[in-house]
Structure 1
Amino acid sequence: MFMLLTQLSGTCIIVVFPTKTAWEAIRTKGPIVPWHKAIWFPRSVPRWAIILWIALLGRLSTKDRLLAWGVTSDDVCTLCGADHESHDHLFFGCQYASRIWSHFFHLNGVNRHGLKLRDEEAWIVQHSGGSSMKNTIYKLSLAAVVYNIWRERNGRIFKG
């Protein structure tokens, strides 16, 4: 709850309204993405979910974006050093990430390889529905993989 104090003609007025009302008034509403339930669910880990959400939106500060903003002149992938670092490459095309995804898919009984970001979104929607223990483990694993790839990438850049 928020409380707003105003003073009119020497009279103090207290206005009480729910936090949700304030949030709805100030936020910019966008379309609901079909994969939101694969990220935000009762047992999700907030820090993992936030990074996964931003990655699926393509808004993490990968080197291709930093290069476009003029922040860096280097766009080589920090994890493999073999290609330009973009969301697609970092999370799905990089040799380092590919090994992690292969292990992740194997542990979850999935017989396939990682695709491009947009293809992964469709696969996530199709295979992460429901609240069974298997689906919960899959969704948690997915968020953990993306979070830890991003964390490893940042660790190599900022901590050497």
Structure 2
Amino acid sequence: MRPAGIYTIKSGYQWKQNEGQQMDWWRAVWNRTNVPKHSFIFWLAMRCRLLTRERLMQMGIGQDIPCPLCGSHPETNAHLFFECEFSKACLEDTLNWLKTKQRNMGLQEIWKGVTRKVTGKTSRGLIWAILAALIYYIWQVRNDAVWDQIVPRTHMILQKIQMKSKVRIFEILKRKHMCKNRY
């Protein structure tokens, strides 16, 4: 705020910058390799802003209903990413495909662990894009379970991630090749 108590965009921005801690996961979320809609869902998940059943209850909408994927625990952000048996199995399939192991299965711990183990900007970007795709597809499957009562097998999620990753890599390589040939 200005001394006279008048709000400006600049003062609001400065206040917001100093409000909380620096989010060190923003590079993974807003990575150029990520598909934009994957980044958006990844961002919401990292901030615990997805409209899970727990969050809807806090807003006064709905009632406490178990997770639509496993049916055994209340649906929270932490449960959905990666305490739920379904999402945990999807994560394990993805980590096996990437030939990596991870002990801590929380969302924050996953991206930290994957980041530490991978060297190189391109490799790290690809891993982040795969993690963003995993989170996006788990959220998509959750929505399908809520609205259509359909829960696919976990290997189907891995196949979608693999396909989307291949397509995205080819798009990036094609873009780089086109830029290179212009000059």
Corresponding letter in the other structure for 2:69: L
Structure 1 stretch displaced more, 66-75 or 47-56: 66-75
**Secondary structure, counterpart of 2:16 in structure 1:** coil
TM-score, normalization: structure 2? 0.65
Query: What's the C-alpha RMSD, in Å, of the aligned pairs?
Result: 2.3
Q: Distance in 2 between matches of 1:107 and 1:120?
A: 15
Of 16, 26, 31 in structure 2, the residue corresponding to residue 29 of structure 1 is: 16
Instruction: Using the TM superposition, give the Cα deviation of residue 130 of structure 1 relative to its aligned residue in structure 2, in angstroms.
Output: 4.3
Q: How many residues align?
A: 137
More strand by share: 1
Q: Distance in 2 between matches of 1:90 and 1:51?
A: 13
Instruction: Point out where structure 1 has 5 or more consecutive residues left out of the alignment.
Output: 1-22
Which TM-score applies when normalising by structure 1?
0.74
Matched residue type, 1:136? G
Deviations 1:103-150 (A, max 9, x none): 111111211245223433543553567422x32221111000000000
| One-letter amino acid of the structure 1 residue matched with residue 79 of structure 2 | H
| Unaligned stretches of 5+ residues in structure 2 | 1-8, 150-183
2:146 maps to: 157
Helix, strand or coil at the partner of 1:74 = coil
1:110 corresponds, among 92, 100, 108, to 100
Matched position secondary structure for 1:29? helix
Instruction: Report sequence identity in percent.
Output: 26
Contact 1:91 1:146 in 2 (8 A): yes
Shift of 1:153: 0.7
Shift of 1:91: 1.3
The answer (yes or no) to whether the contact 1:48–1:147 under 8 Å persists in 2 is: yes
